[in-house]
Amino acid sequence: GAVVSQHPSRVICKSGTSVKIECRSLDFQATTMFWYRQFPKQSLMLMATSNEGSKATYEQGVEKDKFLINHASLTLSTLTVTSAHPEDSSFYICSARDSGSPPGELFFGEGSRLTVL
Residues that bind other proteins (CB under 8 A): 1, 32, 34, 36, 41-46, 49, 51, 57, 91, 93, 95, 102-111, 113
Would you say 52 or 82 has its CB closer to other proteins?
52
Nearest distance in Å: CB 60, other proteins: 10
Alpha-carbon span 114 to 11, nearest angstrom: 5
Residue whose CB is less far from other proteins, 9 or 18: 9
Which is closer to other proteins, CB of 52 or CB of 76? 52
